[in-house]
Amino acid sequence: MTTPNTQDNVPGTEYLVDTNHSLDVSHAGSGSSDIVLLPQPTACGRDPLVCLIMCTMHTEACTNDMTALVES
């Protein structure tokens, strides 16, 4: 019998781990985690990996409005 993992165990997910933080890449948890982010976030303002929370909230609001129109 296996013990459950404390992290979400998503089928098909693999973690790239950098325990020494020797790689020049972005890490999860604002750099405090050993898990390397794949794909890497870019400096591009349109990169969804670094999208501002207000942009995300606006997109969700628009999607909800369109869904409500379609359903009515």
Buried b (16+ CB within 10 A) or exposed e, 7-21: eeeeeeeeeeeeeee
Tokens encoding 42:
């870019």
Sign of CA dihedral 11, 14, 19, 23: negative
pTM of the model: 0.41
pLDDT digits (tens, 9 = 90+) for 16-59: 888 888 888 877 777 778 888 777 777 776 776 666 667 778 88
pLDDT at 6: 54
